[in-house]
Amino acid sequence: MTIDDTDVNDVTRGERALVIGVERHGQTNGRSSEARLDEAAGLAEAIGVEVVARRTYRLRQVRPATLLGSGQVAEIAQLAEEHGAGLAVIDAALTPVQQKSLEEGLKTKVIDRTGLILEIFGERAATAEGRLQVELAHLDYQAGRLVRSWTHLERQRGGFGFLGGPGETQIEADRRMIRDRMARIRRELEQVKRTRTLHRDRRQRAPWPVVALVGYTNAGKSTLFNRLTGEAVVAEDMLFATLDPTMREIRLPGFDKAILSDTVGFVSDLPTQLVAAFRATLEEVASADLLIHVRDISHPDSEAQRADVEAVLEQLGVGREEEGAPPLVEAWNKIDLIEGDDRQALLNEASRRADVLPISAISGEGIDALKAFIAERLRSGSAMHSIRIPISDGGRIAWLHARGEVVGQRMHDGEVEIEVRLSPENWARFQSLVDQSV
């Protein structure tokens, strides 16, 4: 059976693969070579390929045609032959020329880091919006790489098949089809964005604060989400286990209800196509009342991962220094994996910082303290207000009880006078409710 008449995912899953790290002089991205290679292997395994060997190569200079030197290419080709590998995963961004030249030199399929992450997203997107966003990102990435046919464009689900395309055919027709398809997807996503904005506006008027979990992929966001909500969303020890955002209600001290949102994990060198495509989804982060940055504090590259997450948040306009951005605190997760003096040193450091709380989403350690911490932050900067509302206006009375801290109320001739502590954001929201009712 040829690749032409085999389903792409059948070719991809179980493929024997080499993972090749590329270390450029002076560019470490705050990570060790081994840690980067581990992450690249994890990304490859996330789409079901079997990693049979991995190596890191240092580049003295970038070769325009192949990225790697000719001797390195020959060595990788021999490695692929020895291990029977049909795929080489290059942990770097390749130009179309470099990808094609490497495929010819290695006698294997070649995929770069961007293509690999797009392939994962293509498999994992579960909602119609997620699939549209991934397809748009994939088309943008592949627009300059017309070295395979595009028969997979009509597929409804799953990966988008850069691992096993059948060959270079009808390039001009393909380009026209890609442009038309991208235009169609953008129109559909614009409609989705308008709908999402309406839903978000409705939530802003609703009497519940929104807390969004953000963090590096596999940091434990979904496990924490399950712990806080009692839900059972997918929480696996796998990169990008969560792709589509999930929202559930939680109980917090002093709040009748709050909304918790679990979002897609970030990763170093996240493809710009994906940041752009998922901007509408990630706008949920910008509209939250509080961001909880979940960090795998046991990971050797935890600091580098923190920097990567904050860089993506800045791209979304919600970085720490951005005016109007929601406040951000850190949950130092997986503290249960740290022992002895290292654990005590981390606990001491966390105790000195007002924006950090150590937790274990698996064991439950620190979860009650985290809930109290979140509630306290949601009330941060709040001020007391004395508000008179007609007794018949149960909606606004309930809004104040849910969003604020009611410390007293008295009845006055058909009105209730409520003494309530509100954050500046919720006071502004309450004012907009008043304006709408006038």
Neighbours of 294 (CB within 10 A): 27
Query: Which DSSP string do the residues of 307-361 spell out, in sequence order?
Result: HHHHHHHHHTT-STTSTTPPPEEEEEE-GGG--HHHHHHHHHHHHT-TTEEE--T
The reply, when asked if residue 130 is annotated as ligand binding, is no
Cα(334)–Cα(340) distance, integer angstroms: 14
The reply, when asked if residue 257 is annotated as ligand binding, is no
The reply, when asked if residue 217 is annotated as ligand binding, is yes
Both tokens of 168, joined, read: 């270079």
Cα(93)–Cα(113) distance, integer angstroms: 6
The reply, when asked if residue 242 is annotated as ligand binding, is yes
**CB contact set of 196 (below 8 Å; sequence gap of 6+):** 280, 281, 283, 284
Task: Find where tokens 């954001």 sit.
Answer: 425
Please tell me the total number of residues recorded for the chain in this structure: 438
Cα(71)–Cα(210) distance, integer angstroms: 55
The reply, when asked if residue 264 is annotated as ligand binding, is yes
The reply, when asked if residue 241 is annotated as ligand binding, is yes
Cβ atoms of 379 and 254 within 8 Å: the answer is: yes
The reply, when asked if residue 220 is annotated as ligand binding, is yes
Buried b (16+ CB within 10 A) or exposed e, 230-269: ebebebeebbbbbbbbbbbebebeebeebbbbbbbbbbbe
Angle at 17 between CA 11 and CA 23, to 5 degrees: 135
The reply, when asked if residue 219 is annotated as ligand binding, is yes
The rounded radius of gyration (Å) of the Cα atoms in the chain is: 25
Cβ atoms of 233 and 246 within 8 Å: the answer is: yes
The reply, when asked if residue 408 is annotated as ligand binding, is no
Helices 221-229 and 367-378 cross at an angle (nearest 10°) of: 90
Neighbours of 383 (CB within 10 A): 10
The reply, when asked if residue 240 is annotated as ligand binding, is yes
The reply, when asked if residue 335 is annotated as ligand binding, is yes
Cα(430)–Cα(385) distance, integer angstroms: 11
The reply, when asked if residue 221 is annotated as ligand binding, is yes
Binding site membership: which residues? 215-222, 240-244, 262-265, 333-336
Binding site membership for GTP: which residues? 215-222, 240-244, 262-265, 333-336
Binding site membership for Mg(2+): which residues? 222, 242
